[in-house]
Amino acid sequence: MQPTRTAVVVFAFALACLLTIVACGKQPIEKRIAKTHGLVLPNSARNFQHSTSGRFLDRGALSMFEISAADLPTFVSQLKINSRTAPVVTAGDPCINGWNVWPQNSRTFVPGNAAFSHLRKTWTGDAKPVEMLSCASPAGDWLHVEIWTVGQTNVIKVYTDWN
Amino acid sequence: MERHSRHLDPKSYAYRNEPNLYVFVRNNAVNEWDYLGMVVRGWPFAGEAENRSSATITIQGDWTAGGVDMVGTHDLPPGATMASERSRGATAIVDSDFLISATATVYNSSKCIVIARLPAKIGVGTLVVRDCACRIGGKGIYYSGGSEAPR
């Protein structure tokens, strides 16, 4: 009887672990993005893209999404901004990482690693860089936020780094 | 020490002008070691940076100077290695987090196939920067090692 009971307990534990993994895997991407970066996303947020790289205490997470221009002030108000940086050019592509349109040797950045090269254009028209915000991160060591504009929509690019 | 026929003194360069004999492992002899007398190693956060290329590179990350942990950017001139750096009593990079800039084009591999976009996250581990010759003219540098080095 004892081996049977043990087997049942082990099976139940394995099943619980499996269900937990499945449940976590089915978490909506917007919730994963909000949790990863420690941010509240506005209801107008849409067209989410998200990827992570690295392990444990040395990793990074990159997300990009669109929000309505009317929600931008509320979104920015939750950030603990350390510095604001203007772009060095008036046009560019948010899908490109690295220094891109921002000054070299900026305080924060999105690494140019291949792991973050998944970004795709989800809007029509040309995006214009507005501002880059270097922030204290509520979830990691530092937070990098890029704000781009496409008509009445803002494209938000967020990178959190753990070191 | 003599009783056990073991000479446990750290390397001479490590405590030059330094009263703390364990500065060579950043005062943490339990978690870090220096078995070749070249590089401070500790699991899982320590690494080393070596620039065996013809370019000057700038690295950002945690580093140690005179036994004091610091964070910031650091230039590694051509040919600079941990050993030479330390022999000058200068800097030991223990976790080179990002490759910020380089005075030569950076490629993802020794075959110069893809240009790596900087800054690049390197992560924990050994970073080695070397020269590479492209198949179709030109040359540059590439880097390998580290948990985040591009493949």
Q: So what's the pLDDT on residue B38?
A: 44
Peptide bond preceding A87: is omega within 30 degrees of 0, i.e. cis?
no
**pLDDT confidence of B5, banded at 50, 70, 90?**
very low
Q: So what's the pLDDT on residue B114?
A: 86
**Between A55, A96, A111, which is nearest B120 by CB?**
A111
Bigger pLDDT: A18 vs A24: A18
Of the listed ranges A5-9, A137-141, A145-149, the least confidently predicted one is A5-9
Of the listed ranges A116-120, B29-33, B107-111, B134-138, the least confidently predicted one is B29-33
- CA A26-A28-A145 angle, to 5 degrees, is 135
Whether residue B18 has pLDDT greater than 50: no
Residue B151 lies in a domain: no
- Joined together, the tokens standing for residue B95 give 């976790």
Chain segment A30-60, per-residue pLDDT in tens: 999 999 999 999 999 999 999 998 876 778 9
Residue B64 lies in a domain: yes
Cα–Cα dist B42/B135, whole Å: 38
Element (H, E) at A148: strand A142-150
Q: So what's the pLDDT on residue B106?
A: 93
Q: So what's the pLDDT on residue B36?
A: 46
Cβ-proximal residues to A94 (8 Å cutoff; 6+ apart), any chain: A64, A119, A127, A129, A146, A148, A155, A157
pTM of the model: 0.75
Asked if B130 and B121 count as a contact pair (C-beta separation under 8 A), the reply is: no
- Joined together, the tokens standing for residue A23 give 């449940």
Whether residue B33 has pLDDT greater than 90: no
Nearest CA in chain A to B125: A58
**Between B61, B119, B147, which is nearest A54 by CB?**
B147
Mean pLDDT estimate for chain A: 90
**What does the pLDDT average to over B112-122?**
88
How does DSSP classify residue A8? H
Bigger pLDDT: B91 vs B135: B135
Nearest Cα to A162, choosing from B23, B128, B132, B95?
B95
pLDDT over 70 for what percent of chain B?
Answer: 46
Residue B18 lies in a domain: no
Q: So what's the pLDDT on residue B93?
A: 56
- CA B133-B150-B139 angle, to 5 degrees, is 15
Bigger pLDDT: B80 vs A142: A142
Q: So what's the pLDDT on residue A4?
A: 72
**What does the pLDDT average to over B77-85?**
67
How does DSSP classify residue B23? G
Range of the domain at B107: 41-144
Q: A142 to chain B, minimum CA–CA distance in Å?
A: 13
Cα–Cα dist A28/A65, whole Å: 14
pLDDT over 90 for what percent of chain A?
Answer: 72
Residue B74 lies in a domain: yes
Cα–Cα dist A67/A43, whole Å: 8
**pLDDT confidence of A19, banded at 50, 70, 90?**
low
Q: B34 to chain A, minimum CA–CA distance in Å?
A: 23
Amino acid at A121: K
Bigger pLDDT: B10 vs A67: A67
Q: So what's the pLDDT on residue B30?
A: 57
Residue B62 lies in a domain: yes
Handedness of CA A53, A55, A56, A59 (dihedral sign): negative
Q: So what's the pLDDT on residue A14?
A: 77
Amino acid at B125: G
Residues of B in contact with A161 (CB under 8 A): 121
Cα–Cα dist B32/B48, whole Å: 13
Amino acid at A163: N
Cα–Cα dist A44/A74, whole Å: 12
Residue B23 lies in a domain: no
Cβ-proximal residues to B80 (8 Å cutoff; 6+ apart), any chain: B50, B51
The residues spanned by each domain of chain A are 29-162
Number of domains in chain B: 1
Q: Suggest the residue from A101, A119, A163 to mutate for an interface test with chain B (most B CBs closer than 10 A).
A: A163
**pLDDT confidence of B66, banded at 50, 70, 90?**
low
Q: Does B100 touch chain A (CB under 8 A)?
A: yes
